[in-house]
């Protein structure tokens, strides 16, 4: 088996599995309980929270734990929109956002909010002049992902923040699901950020919305007293603990892991260039973990099935948009229908090996020659 779909999900790391087993042996109480066991569980959660904020250098922020990035994105967008709708109902985003952002904004549009899409340049970067021109006195939210999940394009959030910070009514949110654990950056340039545990070798079912302490949100899930006033329900103490372990573990020896991924990306890029009908869609300065290309002699799903039959696993789009017959973001960047209908996303990891890249290239060469 050759797994090259790490941006869809990651295997749970041995460290997380081991620490999770130990946690269950020592702590199972409800951290909302006021007895000694509950207080001990709350101490574990507080320790995990401090670890997460410390690793991301966000000590002046708060965390609302969620079931994953989709819920985090919904809480961020709807929570900000509803709490601030008397100030304005205008939201700005990009055409590169994850499906959970797109669906949420479509929902808000049906609720009477105005959504504007900022232009991008030929490298996928936000057009800052256009962003500035879109802002009005009704703008309450700008939501722009740090790293696009299909192309790996990294946005310059600092430059975007330099613009949004000129307007006190604007909250700046970023979906950082593909950034956390893969890049080191100044996460504090945004007011809110979303991410998910299963993208960083943790468990599915746990995510976080990290927000400045002065941010106010309208909750989506109401309930009794909990860790955050923005989400009711019994906190999943073991999942919260495991999220901190996963984040701590992924940033251990980070530079070494990052360098390996960059070398594999460059090798893959150079090998793909030798295949006749391949066009590379990811820019050179994209996140090294993601390389998107089109094999225009076929369709995305045909190539994916061919590779899957050989136990080589890649994606056609982001996992949450995989039922589409084309890549929306590749179409936006390349303006080419054929490339959007034949795009493949290879997402690698520090666990990937050169031999796996070779096997992928050999399979693609054989497939292209047979078309």
* The CATH number fitting domain 14-251, selected from 3.30.70.890, 3.20.20.70, 3.40.50.1010, 3.40.640.10: 3.40.640.10
Residues identified as active-site:
320
Model confidence at 225, in pLDDT bands (50, 70, 90)? confident
Distance CA 274, CA 294 (A): 13
Distance CA 292, CA 307 (A): 15
What is the pLDDT averaged over residues 13-39?
94
Asked whether the predicted pLDDT for residue 202 surpasses 70, the reply is: yes
What is the pLDDT averaged over residues 152-168?
98
For 84-126, how does the pLDDT look when each residue is reduced to its tens digit (9 = 90+)? 999 999 999 999 999 999 999 999 999 999 999 999 999 999 9
Q: What are phi and psi of 93, to 5 degrees?
A: -150, -170
pLDDT at 75: 98
Considering just the CA atoms, what is the radius of gyration of the chain in Å?
Answer: 21
For 295-313, how does the pLDDT look when each residue is reduced to its tens digit (9 = 90+)? 999 999 999 999 999 999 9
Q: Mean pLDDT of all residues in the chain?
A: 96
Question: Smallest Cα–Cα separation from 79: which of 249, 219, 191?
Answer: 219
Distance CA 176, CA 178 (A): 5
Model confidence at 326, in pLDDT bands (50, 70, 90)? confident
* The CATH number fitting domain 253-370, selected from 3.40.50.10860, 3.90.1150.10, 3.40.50.300, 3.10.129.10: 3.90.1150.10
Length in residues, the chain: 371
The domain limits of the chain are: 14-251, 253-370
Question: Smallest Cα–Cα separation from 179: which of 90, 104, 251, 103?
Answer: 251
What is the pLDDT averaged over residues 195-206?
99
Percent above pLDDT 70 for the chain: 98
Model confidence at 132, in pLDDT bands (50, 70, 90)? very high
pLDDT at 251: 97
Distance CA 123, CA 233 (A): 43
Asked whether the predicted pLDDT for residue 324 surpasses 80, the reply is: no
pLDDT at 331: 95
What is the pLDDT averaged over residues 35-56?
96
pLDDT at 274: 96
Distance CA 247, CA 181 (A): 7
pLDDT at 325: 72
């Amino acid at each position: 088996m050759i797994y090259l779909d790490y941006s869809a999900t990651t295997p749970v790391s041995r460290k997380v599995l081991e620490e999770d087993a130990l946690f269950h042996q020592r702590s199972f109480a409800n951290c909302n309980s006021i007895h000694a066991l509950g207080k001990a569980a709350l101490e574990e959660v507080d320790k995990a929270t401090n670890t997460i904020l410390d690793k991301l250098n966000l000590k002046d922020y708060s965390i609302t734990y969620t079931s994953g990035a989709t819920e985090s994105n919904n809480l961020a967008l709807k929570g900000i929109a509803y709490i601030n709708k008397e100030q304005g109902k205008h939201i700005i985003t990009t055409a590169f956002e994850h499906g959970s952002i797109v669906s949420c904004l479509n929902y808000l549009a049906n609720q009477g909010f105005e959504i504007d899409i900022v232009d991008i340049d030929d490298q996928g970067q936000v057009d800052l002049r256009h962003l500035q021109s879109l802002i009005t006195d009704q703008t309450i939210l700008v939501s722009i992902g740090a790293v696009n999940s299909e192309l790996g394009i990294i946005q310059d959030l600092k430059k975007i923040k330099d613009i949004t910070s000129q307007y006190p009514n604007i909250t700046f949110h970023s979906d950082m699901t593909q950034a956390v654990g893969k890049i080191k950056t100044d996460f504090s340039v945004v007011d809110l950020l979303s991410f998910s545990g299963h993208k960083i070798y943790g468990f599915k079912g746990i995510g976080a919305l990290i927000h400045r302490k002065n941010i106010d949100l309208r909750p989506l899930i109401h309930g009794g007293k909990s860790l955050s006033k923005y989400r009711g329900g019994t906190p999943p103490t073991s999942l919260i603990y495991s999220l901190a372990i996963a984040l701590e573990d992924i940033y251990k020896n980070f530079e070494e892991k990052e360098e390996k991924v960059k070398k594999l990306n460059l090798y893959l890029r150079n090998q793909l260039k030798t295949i006749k009908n391949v066009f590379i869609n990811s820019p050179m300065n994209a996140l090294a973990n993601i390389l998107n290309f089109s094999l225009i002699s076929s369709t995305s799903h045909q190539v994916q099935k061919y590779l899957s039959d050989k136990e080589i696993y890649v994606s056609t789009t982001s996992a949450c948009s995989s039922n589409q017959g084309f890549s929306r973001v590749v179409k936006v960047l390349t303006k080419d229908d054929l490339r959007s209908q034949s795009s493949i996303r290879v997402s690698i990891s520090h666990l990937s090996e050169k031999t796996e890249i070779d096997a992928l290239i050999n399979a693609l060469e054989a497939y292209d020659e047979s078309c």
